[in-house]
Amino acid sequence: MNYFVYILECADKTLYTGTTNDLEKRILSHNTSKTGAKYTRGRRPVTLKYFEDCGTKGNALKREATIKKFSREEKLKLFQKIKILIM
């Protein structure tokens, strides 16, 4: 089972970083669940802006910690890299 680190953009344009082993289920939880992350509950809807497959849970948690230290601008650069690769 692979683990992912992801970044969400909330309705108020703030960014939220987390980890999961099921992206679809976790995004749904952020948008609908009463038990989802407290931060995102008051900032719905959220949209997935970035994710990366980290393999193991340990790797995902390490990458999450690294990304959480990034400035907003550094996080936005991650999104730009993805857009360039897709085009």
pLDDT at site 36: 75
The pLDDT of residue 84 is above 60:
no
Percent of the chain clearing pLDDT 90 (strictly above): 79
DSSP state of 79: H
What pTM, to 2 d.p., does this model score? 0.90
Q: How far apart are CA 84 and CA 87, in angstroms?
A: 5
Domain layout of the chain by residue ranges: 3-86
Q: How many residues are there in the chain?
A: 87
Band of residue 57 on the pLDDT scale cut at 50, 70, 90: very high
Neighbour count for residue 46 (Cβ, 10 Å): 21
pLDDT at site 87: 41
DSSP state of 34: T
User: Smallest Cα–Cα separation from 54: which of 46, 62, 42, 43?
Assistant: 62
Mean of per-residue pLDDT scores for the chain: 91
The pLDDT of residue 35 is above 90:
no
CATH number corresponding to 3-86: 3.40.1440.10
